Amino acid sequence: MARRAMSVFRQWPSRVFSVETEGEPVYFSIRNEHRGEEVPRVFREVPKSDRCYSLHVCCSDRVRRAKFYAELKENFQRELPPRWDVSPMSSFLPNVRDSLIHGYFVRDHSESPSRSESFLRSLSPDAVLVCSYVRGEDGGVWTQRLWSDSETAEKSKEYFVVPAEAPEYHPSALGIINSDVFYSFEEALEVLQKCGDIIPEAKSVMELLPRRADARSEPDFPVVVIEGLDATGKTTLTESLRDTLGATLLRSPPQGLSPFRARFDQEPPLIRRAFYALGNYMTAEQVGQESTKTPVIVDRFWHSTAAYAIAAAVGGPVSNLPAEGSEVYRWPSDLLQPSLVVLLTLDSEERKRRLRGRGQGKTLEEQALDQNQIFRLKVEEAYRRISGPPCIVVDASPSADQVLQQVQLVIRAKCHL
């Protein structure tokens, strides 16, 4: 068993388990003895003929872990074993950062348990911990069996399964820092370095990167970032500001990364987020150079990278986001800070109308914005909670000229331009 798996194995009785059902997590824990607790909700309506399993991806290398988890998901979507229902799940140590382990909860309706267990045993034992769940004769007690070895499941430890209280915040928050959102150049670079052998484009991207992050305390000229969801008018506004202020216009990710975006958009969040985080540092290097000569307008920056990542990582409603003031919203200490950040907001129906008129290809996350109002609300709220500097919200529903005038007033007041 791999080192990380062994560490997880030793801490197993202290972990809490979360199964996503209809977008909401259901929690349970395990004990050495049963004290009359009720059956956890995820097991209450399981027919007697069904069997339940859980898979926990825990190999030591986090790039391999992310790739393996994504490959499992793709395999389930492409070739779901007959009569299986699969739900995302995780396990974690309460309030312990980096303790989050992603996995899947499986309900098997098939008539051949041997085939299902054969499939589970075929999974890489140094990458996945497997559990089976057994119903007691009276149906009121369930036990969990952790397979310490995929070939000797019968020798594994058994625990009683009991309900667990929901944690103070969504468990995904335990794994956001430097996995979904990166807070230093070195942390993001380390991920891409580990991808060099499996993603050839990673080496090309690294050749474009600055040698190190250089967070200058204050640019010579003001740096104004324009943020907002697609179709809120960022492009029109940033180009108008460039012309009216005699400024340099930059975008994040920078043009140099455009040939690689489609490739990295296919990768698991860990790798994809590291790619876009490094794009911010490339843009910051350009900003540092240009802000010695002129004001700089930036079309999206770290706020976008972080807000989308946080919203995607946290399941369920807006209330599941980490609380305002959480360290997940802090600005990276080695990333140049803009003088001002303007967040354009727009009524969802008007935004959809504008999108229909554009007819451009969209990323998976942009498609999710169109289809999922909850995701959109989480992105907008994450924008508002990011500090250093915070966003100034501007209504983008008036005409382009009116929005330009309003933003110019904000820039004059905040940046003295």
Q: What per-residue confidence (pLDDT) applies to 180?
A: 95
Q: What per-residue confidence (pLDDT) applies to 390?
A: 87
Phi, psi of 340 (to 5 degrees): -155, 140
The predicted-structure confidence for 145-188, as pLDDT tens digits, reads as follows 988 654 444 456 899 999 999 888 889 889 999 999 999 999 99
The predicted-structure confidence for 292-322, as pLDDT tens digits, reads as follows 999 999 999 999 999 999 999 998 889 889 9
Name the pTM for this structure. Answer: 0.89
Domains of the chain, each with CATH number or no CATH = 3-168 (no CATH), 175-415 (3.40.50.300)
Higher-confidence position of 127 and 90: 90
Would you say residue 1 has pLDDT above 50? no
Q: What per-residue confidence (pLDDT) applies to 284?
A: 95
The predicted-structure confidence for 79-126, as pLDDT tens digits, reads as follows 777 788 899 999 999 989 889 999 999 999 887 777 778 888 888 777
Q: What per-residue confidence (pLDDT) applies to 168?
A: 81
The predicted-structure confidence for 212-269, as pLDDT tens digits, reads as follows 877 766 778 999 999 998 888 999 999 999 999 999 999 999 999 999 999 999 999 9
Q: What per-residue confidence (pLDDT) applies to 384?
A: 93
Instruction: Look over the chain and give the mean of its residue pLDDT values, rounded to a whole number.
Output: 88
Q: What per-residue confidence (pLDDT) applies to 182?
A: 97
